[in-house]
Chains A and B, each alone.
Chain A
Protein backbone atom coordinates (compact mmCIF):
# COMPACT_ATOMS: atom_id res chain seq x y z
CA UNK A 1 0.00 0.00 0.00
CA UNK A 2 0.96 3.53 -0.74
CA UNK A 3 2.62 5.77 1.79
CA UNK A 4 0.15 8.61 1.96
CA UNK A 5 -3.57 7.89 2.17
CA UNK A 6 -4.83 10.53 -0.20
CA UNK A 7 -8.50 11.39 -0.31
CA UNK A 8 -9.29 8.67 -2.80
CA UNK A 9 -7.21 6.18 -0.86
CA UNK A 10 -9.13 7.00 2.31
CA UNK A 11 -12.38 6.59 0.42
CA UNK A 12 -11.25 3.21 -0.82
CA UNK A 13 -10.37 2.13 2.71
CA UNK A 14 -13.67 3.37 4.05
CA UNK A 15 -15.75 1.74 1.33
CA UNK A 16 -13.85 -1.50 1.67
CA UNK A 17 -13.79 -1.88 5.44
CA UNK A 18 -16.09 0.54 7.23
CA UNK A 19 -19.07 -1.84 7.27
CA UNK A 20 -17.10 -4.65 8.86
CA UNK A 21 -15.45 -2.29 11.32
CA UNK A 22 -18.79 -0.72 12.21
CA UNK A 23 -20.43 -4.07 12.89
CA UNK A 24 -17.50 -5.29 14.96
CA UNK A 25 -17.27 -2.08 16.97
CA UNK A 26 -21.00 -1.81 17.54
CA UNK A 27 -21.15 -5.37 18.80
CA UNK A 28 -18.03 -4.91 20.92
CA UNK A 29 -18.74 -1.51 22.46
CA UNK A 30 -22.57 -1.82 22.50
CA UNK A 31 -22.70 1.91 21.95
CA UNK A 32 -23.29 3.74 18.69
CA UNK A 33 -21.56 6.96 19.75
CA UNK A 34 -18.47 5.02 20.85
CA UNK A 35 -18.50 3.12 17.58
CA UNK A 36 -18.51 6.36 15.67
CA UNK A 37 -15.73 7.85 17.82
CA UNK A 38 -13.51 4.82 17.37
CA UNK A 39 -14.16 4.69 13.63
CA UNK A 40 -13.32 8.38 13.34
CA UNK A 41 -10.21 7.94 15.46
CA UNK A 42 -9.14 5.07 13.26
CA UNK A 43 -9.35 7.09 10.06
CA UNK A 44 -7.60 10.05 11.67
CA UNK A 45 -4.82 7.71 12.67
CA UNK A 46 -4.54 6.40 9.12
CA UNK A 47 -4.27 9.94 7.83
CA UNK A 48 -1.80 11.13 10.47
CA UNK A 49 0.45 8.11 10.17
CA UNK A 50 0.60 7.51 6.45
CA UNK A 51 3.15 4.70 6.76
CA UNK A 52 0.87 2.69 9.06
CA UNK A 53 -0.48 0.50 6.28
CA UNK A 54 2.80 0.26 4.40
CA UNK A 55 3.66 -3.39 3.89
CA UNK A 56 0.42 -4.65 5.41
CA UNK A 57 -0.84 -7.66 3.47
CA UNK A 58 -4.27 -8.05 5.04
CA UNK A 59 -5.78 -4.60 5.48
CA UNK A 60 -8.98 -5.86 7.06
CA UNK A 61 -7.11 -7.85 9.69
CA UNK A 62 -4.91 -4.89 10.50
CA UNK A 63 -7.84 -2.49 10.74
CA UNK A 64 -9.86 -4.86 12.93
CA UNK A 65 -6.91 -5.10 15.27
CA UNK A 66 -6.53 -1.31 15.39
CA UNK A 67 -10.25 -0.93 16.02
CA UNK A 68 -10.21 -3.52 18.77
CA UNK A 69 -7.31 -1.82 20.55
CA UNK A 70 -8.89 1.61 20.18
CA UNK A 71 -12.21 0.32 21.54
CA UNK A 72 -10.48 -1.25 24.55
CA UNK A 73 -8.66 2.03 25.23
CA UNK A 74 -11.92 3.95 25.01
CA UNK A 75 -13.72 1.58 27.37
CA UNK A 76 -10.87 1.79 29.88
CA UNK A 77 -10.88 5.58 29.70
CA UNK A 78 -14.56 5.71 30.45
CA UNK A 79 -14.20 3.46 33.47
CA UNK A 80 -16.85 2.16 35.78
CA UNK A 81 -18.90 5.38 35.93
CA UNK A 82 -20.40 4.81 32.51
CA UNK A 83 -21.10 1.12 32.91
CA UNK A 84 -24.63 1.47 34.23
CA UNK A 85 -25.50 3.92 31.50
CA UNK A 86 -24.02 1.59 28.90
CA UNK A 87 -26.05 -1.29 30.26
CA UNK A 88 -29.25 0.67 29.82
CA UNK A 89 -28.25 1.85 26.37
CA UNK A 90 -27.35 -1.67 25.31
CA UNK A 91 -30.90 -2.86 25.84
CA UNK A 92 -32.11 -0.51 23.11
CA UNK A 93 -29.19 -1.16 20.76
CA UNK A 94 -30.09 -2.05 17.21
CA UNK A 95 -27.34 -4.40 16.18
CA UNK A 96 -29.03 -6.14 13.24
CA UNK A 97 -31.01 -5.04 10.24
CA UNK A 98 -34.72 -4.85 10.81
CA UNK A 99 -36.46 -8.11 9.87
CA UNK A 100 -39.51 -8.43 7.69
CA UNK A 101 -41.34 -10.78 10.02
CA UNK A 102 -42.08 -10.08 13.69
CA UNK A 103 -40.82 -13.52 14.71
CA UNK A 104 -37.52 -12.99 13.01
CA UNK A 105 -37.30 -9.53 14.52
CA UNK A 106 -37.95 -11.00 17.96
CA UNK A 107 -35.11 -13.45 17.41
CA UNK A 108 -32.76 -10.67 16.33
CA UNK A 109 -33.66 -8.59 19.33
CA UNK A 110 -33.10 -11.55 21.62
CA UNK A 111 -29.78 -12.29 19.94
CA UNK A 112 -28.65 -8.69 20.31
CA UNK A 113 -29.55 -8.74 24.01
CA UNK A 114 -27.86 -12.12 24.52
CA UNK A 115 -24.67 -10.89 22.86
CA UNK A 116 -24.76 -7.92 25.23
CA UNK A 117 -24.66 -10.30 28.19
CA UNK A 118 -21.43 -11.92 27.03
CA UNK A 119 -18.12 -10.58 28.30
CA UNK A 120 -16.53 -8.31 25.66
CA UNK A 121 -13.71 -10.80 25.02
CA UNK A 122 -16.13 -13.59 24.16
CA UNK A 123 -18.31 -11.21 22.18
CA UNK A 124 -15.36 -10.10 20.03
CA UNK A 125 -14.38 -13.68 19.24
CA UNK A 126 -17.99 -14.73 18.54
CA UNK A 127 -18.45 -11.78 16.21
CA UNK A 128 -15.31 -12.47 14.19
CA UNK A 129 -16.18 -16.17 13.92
CA UNK A 130 -19.85 -15.81 13.08
CA UNK A 131 -20.03 -12.61 11.06
CA UNK A 132 -16.53 -12.32 9.63
CA UNK A 133 -16.17 -16.05 9.04
CA UNK A 134 -12.63 -16.19 10.40
CA UNK A 135 -10.75 -19.22 11.68
CA UNK A 136 -9.49 -19.31 15.26
CA UNK A 137 -5.96 -18.70 14.02
CA UNK A 138 -7.10 -15.61 12.16
CA UNK A 139 -9.10 -14.40 15.14
CA UNK A 140 -6.11 -14.97 17.39
CA UNK A 141 -3.92 -12.91 15.07
CA UNK A 142 -6.42 -10.05 15.01
CA UNK A 143 -7.01 -9.92 18.74
CA UNK A 144 -3.46 -10.71 19.81
CA UNK A 145 -4.38 -13.87 21.75
CA UNK A 146 -3.39 -17.55 21.40
CA UNK A 147 -5.61 -19.63 19.07
CA UNK A 148 -6.61 -21.92 21.94
CA UNK A 149 -7.84 -18.94 23.91
CA UNK A 150 -9.85 -17.77 20.92
CA UNK A 151 -11.39 -21.23 20.57
CA UNK A 152 -12.28 -21.53 24.24
CA UNK A 153 -13.77 -18.04 24.33
CA UNK A 154 -15.91 -18.93 21.35
CA UNK A 155 -17.13 -22.15 22.95
CA UNK A 156 -18.06 -20.40 26.18
CA UNK A 157 -19.77 -17.62 24.27
CA UNK A 158 -21.75 -19.82 21.90
CA UNK A 159 -22.86 -22.07 24.76
CA UNK A 160 -24.26 -19.05 26.61
CA UNK A 161 -26.02 -17.81 23.48
CA UNK A 162 -27.51 -21.23 22.88
CA UNK A 163 -28.81 -21.46 26.42
CA UNK A 164 -30.20 -17.95 26.32
CA UNK A 165 -31.86 -18.30 22.90
CA UNK A 166 -33.03 -21.91 23.16
CA UNK A 167 -36.72 -21.09 23.83
CA UNK A 168 -37.17 -18.65 20.97
CA UNK A 169 -35.01 -20.74 18.62
CA UNK A 170 -37.06 -23.86 19.28
CA UNK A 171 -40.24 -21.89 18.84
CA UNK A 172 -39.21 -20.52 15.45
CA UNK A 173 -37.98 -23.86 14.11
Chain B
Protein backbone atom coordinates (compact mmCIF):
# COMPACT_ATOMS: atom_id res chain seq x y z
CA UNK B 1 0.00 0.00 0.00
CA UNK B 2 1.62 3.26 -1.18
CA UNK B 3 1.77 5.75 1.66
CA UNK B 4 1.31 8.81 -0.54
CA UNK B 5 -1.66 7.31 -2.37
CA UNK B 6 -3.31 6.37 0.89
CA UNK B 7 -2.87 9.86 2.36
CA UNK B 8 -4.09 11.44 -0.87
CA UNK B 9 -7.18 9.28 -0.79
CA UNK B 10 -7.88 10.40 2.74
CA UNK B 11 -7.43 14.04 1.76
CA UNK B 12 -9.98 13.62 -1.01
CA UNK B 13 -12.73 12.55 1.39
CA UNK B 14 -14.98 15.61 1.72
CA UNK B 15 -15.86 16.61 5.26
CA UNK B 16 -19.52 17.05 6.02
CA UNK B 17 -20.84 20.59 5.59
CA UNK B 18 -21.82 22.62 8.61
CA UNK B 19 -25.63 22.47 9.00
CA UNK B 20 -27.13 25.49 7.27
CA UNK B 21 -29.51 26.31 10.12
CA UNK B 22 -26.63 26.76 12.56
CA UNK B 23 -25.52 29.98 10.90
CA UNK B 24 -28.61 32.00 11.74
CA UNK B 25 -28.85 30.65 15.27
CA UNK B 26 -25.20 31.07 16.22
CA UNK B 27 -25.05 34.59 14.83
CA UNK B 28 -28.39 35.53 16.40
CA UNK B 29 -27.24 34.38 19.86
CA UNK B 30 -23.94 36.19 19.48
CA UNK B 31 -25.62 39.42 18.46
CA UNK B 32 -28.19 39.01 21.26
CA UNK B 33 -25.36 38.69 23.78
CA UNK B 34 -23.99 42.02 22.63
CA UNK B 35 -27.44 43.58 22.72
CA UNK B 36 -27.96 42.26 26.26
CA UNK B 37 -24.73 43.88 27.40
CA UNK B 38 -25.66 47.14 25.75
CA UNK B 39 -29.14 46.98 27.27
CA UNK B 40 -27.67 46.31 30.70
CA UNK B 41 -25.33 49.27 30.42
CA UNK B 42 -28.19 51.47 29.25
CA UNK B 43 -30.40 50.24 32.10
CA UNK B 44 -27.68 51.01 34.65
CA UNK B 45 -27.23 54.49 33.25
CA UNK B 46 -30.97 55.08 33.34
CA UNK B 47 -31.25 53.75 36.91
CA UNK B 48 -28.54 56.11 38.08
CA UNK B 49 -30.24 59.01 36.38
CA UNK B 50 -33.57 58.04 37.95
CA UNK B 51 -32.04 57.89 41.44
CA UNK B 52 -30.50 61.34 41.17
CA UNK B 53 -33.73 62.67 39.71
CA UNK B 54 -35.65 61.32 42.75
CA UNK B 55 -33.37 63.11 45.20
CA UNK B 56 -33.64 66.29 43.21
CA UNK B 57 -37.46 66.07 43.09
CA UNK B 58 -37.62 65.45 46.81
CA UNK B 59 -35.30 68.18 47.95
CA UNK B 60 -35.79 70.87 45.39
CA UNK B 61 -39.40 72.01 46.22
CA UNK B 62 -38.48 72.88 49.89
CA UNK B 63 -34.97 74.35 49.78
CA UNK B 64 -35.62 76.69 52.74
CA UNK B 65 -36.78 73.87 55.02
CA UNK B 66 -33.83 71.59 54.18
CA UNK B 67 -31.40 74.51 54.46
CA UNK B 68 -32.72 75.43 57.94
CA UNK B 69 -32.48 71.83 59.11
CA UNK B 70 -28.92 71.63 57.89
CA UNK B 71 -28.07 74.91 59.69
CA UNK B 72 -29.53 73.57 62.98
CA UNK B 73 -27.33 70.48 62.69
CA UNK B 74 -24.28 72.65 62.06
CA UNK B 75 -25.02 74.71 65.23
CA UNK B 76 -25.48 71.52 67.29
CA UNK B 77 -22.20 70.14 66.05
CA UNK B 78 -20.40 73.43 66.80
CA UNK B 79 -21.79 73.55 70.35
CA UNK B 80 -20.79 69.96 70.95
CA UNK B 81 -17.23 70.64 69.86
CA UNK B 82 -16.99 73.90 71.88
CA UNK B 83 -18.15 72.32 75.19
CA UNK B 84 -15.20 71.43 77.54
CA UNK B 85 -14.66 67.81 78.37
CA UNK B 86 -16.28 66.31 81.51
CA UNK B 87 -14.34 66.30 84.88
CA UNK B 88 -14.17 62.52 84.95
CA UNK B 89 -12.55 62.55 81.60
CA UNK B 90 -10.12 65.28 82.71
CA UNK B 91 -9.09 63.26 85.76
CA UNK B 92 -8.40 60.29 83.58
CA UNK B 93 -6.40 62.35 81.21
CA UNK B 94 -4.10 63.77 83.95
CA UNK B 95 -0.59 62.45 84.19
CA UNK B 96 0.33 60.36 87.30
CA UNK B 97 1.98 62.16 90.27
CA UNK B 98 5.73 62.43 90.20
CA UNK B 99 7.93 60.62 92.73
CA UNK B 100 9.05 63.87 94.42
CA UNK B 101 5.46 64.94 94.85
CA UNK B 102 4.58 61.55 96.37
CA UNK B 103 7.48 61.86 98.81
CA UNK B 104 6.41 65.37 99.69
CA UNK B 105 2.88 64.23 100.36
CA UNK B 106 4.12 61.34 102.54
CA UNK B 107 6.29 63.79 104.51
CA UNK B 108 3.38 66.11 105.08
CA UNK B 109 1.26 63.17 106.24
CA UNK B 110 3.94 62.13 108.73
CA UNK B 111 4.25 65.68 110.05
CA UNK B 112 0.50 65.94 110.46
CA UNK B 113 0.46 62.62 112.31
CA UNK B 114 3.29 63.79 114.59
CA UNK B 115 1.48 67.00 115.44
CA UNK B 116 -1.78 65.28 116.18
CA UNK B 117 -0.36 62.25 118.02
CA UNK B 118 3.31 62.39 119.16
CA UNK B 119 3.22 58.74 120.26
CA UNK B 120 2.06 57.77 116.83
CA UNK B 121 5.29 59.16 115.31
CA UNK B 122 7.26 56.37 116.96
CA UNK B 123 4.87 53.77 115.78
CA UNK B 124 5.12 55.17 112.24
CA UNK B 125 8.93 55.25 112.29
CA UNK B 126 9.33 51.90 114.15
CA UNK B 127 9.59 48.89 112.00
CA UNK B 128 7.86 45.75 113.24
CA UNK B 129 10.29 43.44 115.01
CA UNK B 130 11.52 40.69 112.78
CA UNK B 131 11.84 37.25 114.40
CA UNK B 132 15.51 36.45 115.28
CA UNK B 133 17.35 33.20 114.93
CA UNK B 134 16.00 30.16 116.77
CA UNK B 135 18.96 30.12 119.25
CA UNK B 136 17.99 33.62 120.50
CA UNK B 137 14.41 32.47 120.92
CA UNK B 138 15.61 29.50 123.03
CA UNK B 139 17.79 31.84 125.10
CA UNK B 140 14.87 34.14 125.82
CA UNK B 141 12.68 31.24 126.92
CA UNK B 142 15.33 29.87 129.29
CA UNK B 143 15.98 33.38 130.72
CA UNK B 144 12.34 33.81 131.58
- What is the interface of chain A, defined by CB distance below 8 A to chain B? 7, 10-11, 14-15, 18-19, 22-23, 26-27, 36, 39-40, 43-44, 46-48, 94-97, 107-108, 111, 130-131, 133, 158, 161-162, 165-166, 169-170
Contacts and interface: CB of A to CB of B under 8 A. Distances in A.
Contacts of B14: 96-97
Give 5 nearest A-B pairs by CB, closest first: A22-B18, A23-B15, A43-B30, A97-B14, A47-B30
A97 B27 contact: no
18 contacts: A7-B31, A19-B15, A39-B22, A40-B26, A43-B29, A43-B30, A46-B30, A94-B16, A95-B15, A96-B13, A97-B14, A97-B15, A130-B7, A130-B11, A158-B6, A162-B1, A162-B6, A169-B6
Contacts of A170: 1
Contacts of A26: 15-16
Given A40-B29, A44-B30, A97 B10 contact: no
Interface residues of B, number: 24
Contacts of A162: 1, 3, 6
Nearest to A108: B13
SS class of chain B's interface: helix, strand, loop or mixed? helix
A169 B29 contact: no
B26 to A, nearest CB: 5
Given A15-B23, A111-B13, 8 more contacts: A18-B23, A19-B18, A40-B25, A40-B26, A43-B26, A43-B29, A96-B15, A158-B3
Contact of B11 (A15, A43, A131): A131
A15 B18 CA distance: 11
A127 B37 CA distance: 37
A97 B26 contact: no
A127 to B, nearest CB: 9
Contacts of A11: 27
A150 to B, nearest CB: 15
Contacts of B26: 14, 18, 36, 39-40, 43
B46 interface: no
A107 B15 CA distance: 13
B1 A43 contact: no
A140 B49 CA distance: 53
Nearest to B31: A7
A48 B33 CA distance: 8
